[in-house]
C-alpha cells in the first residue's frame, strides 16, 4: 500500500519511516516531493487534528486518483502556559522560526518557573484520508516536563528541552531507540499501524473513526 506524507519536514518523515520499517508494515511512504512538493497550508486551526486534516486535504487534491494521504500535526503543550506553544509550536518564536529560536523563547518564557510548574506534554495527531473521503484519526501523547536548558544532539523541534516522564534525560539525549518506544508520535503511529494490519478492509467504508 502506498501512502503519501503531507509534510515538508524531513526529520518527521524519517521518524515515521523508521517506525514503519521497525514494525514490518507493507506500506511505502511517498514524500510530497514526489508529486511536486507540499502545497502551502495556513495552519490556522486550534487543534492538532484540525491542522493535520488541512494538510492532508491540501496534498490529496494534487495526488493521483485513488491515493491515500497521511498528515501529522504535533507540538508541545506546557501546563502553566495554558497549553502553549501547542498548535503554534513550530512558529512559537515567529513565522519561519528555527528550532533553536523556538527553544530559546520557551526557555525565556519559563525562566522564573520552578520544576513543579514545568509540566508539559508532547501531543500528536495523525490523519489518514482515503480516495473516497474516508477519514481516520490516530492520536498520541507523552507526558513530561521542560528542562532548564537545552541538552542533547539527537532529534528535532523541542527534543532538547523535553524530559519524558520517568527519565532525567531529554529526548535529544535518549536517542531514537528509546524515543521510538515512548514518544507521542510513536503512540499515534502504533495505532495507525495496528489499523493497517488488522482493520483496513473492515474499516474502509466508514467516513470517520478516531483512535
Annotated catalytic residues are 73
Q: Which three cell numbers stand for residue 151?
A: 541538552
Burial 62-83 (b: 16+ CB within 10 A, else e): ebeeebbbbbbbbbbbbbbbeb
Q: Tell me the three cell numbers of residue 31.
A: 514524500
Comparing C-alpha atoms, which of 125, 119, 155, 158 is closest to residue 140? 125
CA distance 128 to 151: 34
Nearest by Cα to 179 from 136, 115, 124, 102: 124
Cis amide leading into 49 (omega within 30)? no
Amino acid at each position: 500500500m502506498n501512502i503519501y506524507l503531507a509534510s515538508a519536514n524531513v526529520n518527521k518523515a524519517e521518524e515515521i519511516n523508521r517506525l514503519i520499517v521497525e514494525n514490518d508494515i507493507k506500506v511505502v511512504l511517498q514524500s510530497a516531493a514526489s508529486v511536486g512538493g507540499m502545497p502551502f497550508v495556513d495552519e490556522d486551526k486550534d487543534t492538532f487534528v484540525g491542522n493535520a486534516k488541512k494538510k492532508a486535504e491540501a496534498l490529496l487534491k494534487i495526488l493521483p486518483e485513488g491515493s491515500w494521504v497521511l498528515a501529522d500535526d504535533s507540538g508541545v503543550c506546557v501546563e502553566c502556559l495554558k497549553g502553549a506553544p501547542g498548535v503554534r509550536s513550530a512558529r512559537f518564536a515567529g513565522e519561519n522560526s528555527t528550532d533553536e529560536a523556538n527553544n530559546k523563547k520557551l526557555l525565556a518564557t519559563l525562566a522564573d518557573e520552578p520544576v513543579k510548574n514545568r509540566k508539559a506534554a508532547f501531543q500528536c495527531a495523525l490523519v489518514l484520508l482515503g480516495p473516497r473521503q474516508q477519514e481516520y484519526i490516530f492520536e498520541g501523547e507523552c507526558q513530561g516536563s521542560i528542562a532548564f536548558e537545552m541538552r542533547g544532539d539527537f532529534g528535532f523541534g523541542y527534543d532538547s528541552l523535553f524530559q519524558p516522564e520517568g527519565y532525567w534525560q531529554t529526548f535529544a539525549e535518549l536517542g531514537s531507540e528509546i524515543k521510538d518506544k515512548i514518544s507521542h508520535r510513536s503512540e499515534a503511529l502504533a495505532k495507525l499501524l495496528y489499523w493497517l494490519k488488522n482493520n483496513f478492509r473492515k474499516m474502509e467504508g466508514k467516513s470517520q473513526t478516531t483512535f
